[in-house]
Chains A and B, each alone.
Chain A
């Protein structure tokens, strides 16, 4: 199984900060990686697909990069509505696996 390791597991940040979340796969997954945002009590929401493509309707302050084993999600200027938990998810091979999540909290 491909293990997806996210770091940090939590981060405290202020509105306007730049936040970077990393996701490392235990083996290469090409660019078959997506990022999701989840708020408490809600279903996850797709932010980035195929490592670096912004999903329609998602603000441009979100961006993704990487390929192979190392990936990043960047929020260029954190907004109040961005406080949530973020998950990476590999779709290269079975079983499909998620990272453990990164909780972005208000500083």
Chain B
């Protein structure tokens, strides 16, 4: 079964750090671009970051540049995002998603919740 499973979310104080993971199974992980997308409580979807198949290209939304780092380990079929200097406005459900060759997100994880609060 093609699947993405996120982990690593939790409660963190402003200024803190968290590392989210996304475990892929059922497909050739190294063949796909991957993304992180987040959704603040009661709000819409927001693209966070993208990474190329070999990790050579990475892109970020402006609001997380310099604070978040996307990475992947193709040997472990895993995607990561290291989140530093967290802010209250980073509070959201974080989803990882697979990008198709037609630039759509066809497989999503169940999400992991990040809460930034004092």
Complex CA distance for A101 and B100, rounded to whole angstroms: 22
Known contacts A43-B109, A43-B111, A95-B62; is-contact A49 B44 (Cβ 8 Å): no
Which chain B residue has the least Cβ–Cβ distance from A91? Answer: B103
- B7 at interface, CB cutoff 8 A: no
CB distance B106 to A55 under 8 Å? yes
- A87 at interface, CB cutoff 8 A: yes
Give the A-B pair count, Cβ closer than 8 A: 57
Shortest distance from the beta carbon of B50 to any chain A beta carbon, whole Å: 7
Q: How large is the interface on A (under 10, 10 to 19, 20 to 34, 35 or more residues)?
A: 20 to 34
CB distance B45 to A98 under 8 Å? yes
Q: How large is the interface on B (under 10, 10 to 19, 20 to 34, 35 or more residues)?
A: 20 to 34
Q: What are 18 contact pairs spanning A and B, CB under 8 A?
A: A34-B103, A34-B104, A38-B45, A43-B109, A43-B111, A44-B45, A44-B95, A50-B103, A87-B45, A89-B104, A89-B105, A95-B61, A95-B62, A96-B47, A96-B50, A97-B47, A98-B46, A101-B44
A residues adjacent to B (C-beta < 8 A): 32, 34, 36, 38, 43-46, 49-50, 53, 55, 87, 89, 91, 94-101
